[in-house]
Amino acid sequence: MKVLLDTNIFLEILLAQENAENAKALLIQSAQHEFFITNYSLHSIGLLLFRKKQH
């Protein structure tokens, strides 16, 4: 199945938020699904990491 991932899936993990383990479990299913991310989401994640000096 093709799945479009939202920015929040990655932010949950990167920011160690409440549902980080659920987000990791989703990403582990890469053998079952074909994941996609938008260019906007990628830039949003990059901007957040840059602001937190984690680039």
* Full residue range of the structural domain in which residue 28 is found: 2-51
What is the pLDDT, as a whole number, of residue 1?
87
What is the pLDDT, as a whole number, of residue 24?
94
Q: What is the pLDDT of residues 1-55, one digit of tens each?
A: 898 999 999 999 999 999 999 999 999 987 888 999 999 999 999 999 899 887 7
Distances (CA, A) of 12 to 1, 30, 43, 45: 22, 18, 16, 11
Q: Tell me the C-alpha distance between 44 and 34, whole Å.
A: 21
pTM given for the model: 0.78
State the total domains in the chain: 1
Q: Tell me the C-alpha distance between 48 and 35, whole Å.
A: 21
Would you give the end-to-end CA distance of the chain in angstroms? 31
Q: Tell me the C-alpha distance between 37 and 34, whole Å.
A: 10
